Amino acid sequence: MVTGCAPIFILGLLGVSLGSWFFGTHIAARLTGLVALASFMLYFALLNWTARSNIARKSAEEKLEPKEKTTDNGDDNVPFTDEDRVEWAHYLKSEGRILWAGFVFLAIVIVALIVKD
């Protein structure tokens, strides 16, 4: 948990410290930190959207073309089953909702801070 959240906190602290250093005001420091976090969330939300789009496109292509039977070539790789694909798609959908909700929340906070000041 700590290692997963650490980059977000470090990015926020870095944004606040750089904003304070460059601009010298508290509102600029807060806005810089929030913009850094919002950019981070937007980047990963777009990566998630790209992965979900690729999965949807691939499943649409597989429906049009029949599956070819693969032969065992001696690899130790475990095949990615249809159940695994459905579970992965569900995970990406849930993760995407969280990322987009976080980005929208941060955008609203940024706008509120700008309007308030």
Give the domain ranges of the chain. Answer: 2-63+81-116
Report how far residue 114's alpha carbon sits from residue 108's, in angstroms, rounded to the nearest whole number.
Answer: 10
Secondary-structure percent of the chain, ordered helix, strand, coil, rounded to 5: 80, 0, 20
pLDDT, tens only, 19-67: 777 777 778 888 888 888 888 889 889 999 999 998 888 878 877 776 6
pLDDT tens-place string over residues 69-88: 555 555 667 777 778 888 88
